[in-house]
Structures are given as C-alpha cells and as structure tokens.
Structure 1
Amino acid sequence: MKQRISRPLTRAGVVDSVATRTGDLPLTKKQTQQALLHIFDCIAQALCDGKRVELRGFGVFSPKIYGPRRGINPNSGEPILLSHTYTVRFKAAKELHQRINRDFKRRRNIGGQAD
C-alpha cells in the first residue's frame, strides 16, 4: 500500500527551516532565500551547460536528452517528427535512500502498523 505524503515542502518551507537552523550564523529569511536562489541558479546553469551536478550524500542531477520522435498532429491526424527534448534526471545517493527508508520504517512502527 502506498503511503501518501500529506503536504509538500515548498521553497518557503525550506527557507524557514534553514533560517531557524543556522545557529551561530544567524541569517534572516531574506538572506536565506537569496542563498537558496543562488544555489538553484548554480545547479540550473550547470545542467544547461550539459554538466552533472553531484551532491555527495544527496544525489546526482544530470541532463538527459531524448532524441527526435514521431508524433501525430492532433488537429489533422498527420504524422509529424517532434524534435529532441531535454529533461533532468535525479538519482538519489545511497545515503539518502537509506535514510528515507529508515525514517519511514520508524514512523510506520511508531504508528502501530506492522512491516
């Protein structure tokens, strides 16, 4: 049975969480938001340049190119050739995968459900 996650963590939620966890380096929410936007921009630019982004312990973002494919024009029904498309692939690091599984199992056991 799939377990649904109730609410997604948004960018604002990440900013709030990071701003409260900075400890000795007090950052305002605005400073935290700017730093986060710069990180996202750096990752996006690297992907646009065709580079992989490796975040040890978290995962790897890599650009993926899908070649041209055949499609059908929905208006005329005629076959057409669609150009190649780009997307991003994410592969979770082993550490992240293990942490997610460990935490979900712990929550499941606390809730009284059996494995």
Structure 2
Amino acid sequence: MTKKEIVKTISDKHQLTQLKTKEIVQSTFEAIIETLVEEHRIELRNFGVFEVKKRAARKARNPRTGERVDVAEKYVVTFKPGKEMEERVLRLEQEEAARAAQGLPPAYVPPVESNGDAPMGSEPSDTDL
C-alpha cells in the first residue's frame, strides 16, 4: 500500500478531502521522524515501537566481485510490532494454514524479496541514491 492509497482510504472513511487528509498523514509521518531523530524511540500503543539503533562497523563482501569491503557504523531504524499487530498476523498465518489444508490457494502471495541490489548491468537512478 502506498501513501496515496492510505490517504484515499482515510479520506473516504472520514469524509475528508484527500488534500486535507494528505496534510494530516504527512504531518504524522514528519512527527514520527522528528521524534526518532530527537528521542531515538517512539512507542505507538497497539501498533509497535520504532527505535533508532547504532549498527556496528563490519566487514562485508561485494556480491558481484567477491571483494571484501568495510562497512562503516551507522544508525538504523528498527521496528518491533505491538501485541495486537502480532496477534492479527498470527491469525493470518493460521488462516493460510487452514486454506492450505483444504487444498485452497493462498489468499495472499507476498512479493519476492530483493536484497536491494540493482539487477546486473543496471545503473542506480536518482531515487536509489
């Protein structure tokens, strides 16, 4: 789901204009980011906890060349889902298992995960930088 789809869903549900809803959603995201930058943690009850953590420097390997490279320490944002979210996802997992037991196809097929590398021969775009 994209931010645009979130805006449409909320504006339809609450009879608000999409423009006003977009401002509210964007302000919410900005408040989350600002809190993470200033306080390094934000807890949203029944949703989860976002936290800024420092990832230590490490050695890695370039998958294309096999060459060892040094990766500097950096800050990363982590997310730990809240209890309600965990329970709902667990129910989804149980429902999918029940569908499989009945010989039904899955209701949701997740996209293939990417390791973030661009395909061979492609150059990064401005949005990748």
Q: Give the aligned CA root-mean-square deviation in angstroms.
A: 2.8
Aligned pair partner of 2:55 in 66, 80, 104: 66
Q: Tell me the equivalent position of 1:42.
A: 31
Question: 1:50: how far off?
Answer: 3.4
Runs of at least 4 residues off by over 2 Å: 67-72, 79-84, 103-109
Letter in 1 for 2:13: R
Normalising by structure 1, report the TM-score.
Answer: 0.70
When the two structures are superposed, what TM-score results if normalisation uses the length of structure 2?
0.64
Identify the match of residue 113 of structure 1 among 100, 103, 110.
100
CA drift at 1:70? 4.9
CA distance in 1, matches of 2:81, 2:19: 29
Give the letter aligned to residue 114 of structure 1.
A
Identity among equivalent pairs (%): 28
Greater RCO (CA < 8 Å, at least 6 residues apart): 1
Match of 2:10 in 1: 18
Question: Residue type of the partner of 1:89?
Answer: T
1:96 corresponds to which letter in structure 2? M
Gaps of 5+ in 2: 62-66, 103-129
